[in-house]
Amino acid sequence: MKKTAGFFIAENLKNPLMGKRNQNACVMRAKITYTQKHINAISNLNKRKLQKLYRITEIEENEKKYLPKL
């Protein structure tokens, strides 16, 4: 099993020597990392959708050239 940043943060939180302030910082870091990954995933999906749409409209434009005008 691959150990992720979340795993290490959870391990750090179990450490009794770590102060409350450091624990809070670890939790915030984990939330920020998760949010960034989520945003990147959404933006990559949107990029793919836009690329597909652009290709479709490009094909339609090329097809229009060969259609007779009514």
- Supply the pLDDT for residue 23: 73
Q: Residue ranges of the domains in the chain?
A: 5-66
pLDDT tens for the chain, 70 residues: list them. 566 666 666 666 677 676 777 777 777 877 787 788 888 888 888 888 887 877 777 777 777 777 666 5
- Supply the pLDDT for residue 53: 76
Element (H, E) at 22: helix 20-66
Per-residue tokens: 10: 């959870």
Per-residue tokens: 51: 């690329």
DSSP assigned state of 16: T
DSSP assigned state of 1: -
- Supply the pLDDT for residue 37: 82
Element (H, E) at 49: helix 20-66
Coil, strand, or helix at residue 15? coil
Whole-structure pTM over 0.95, yes or no?
A: no
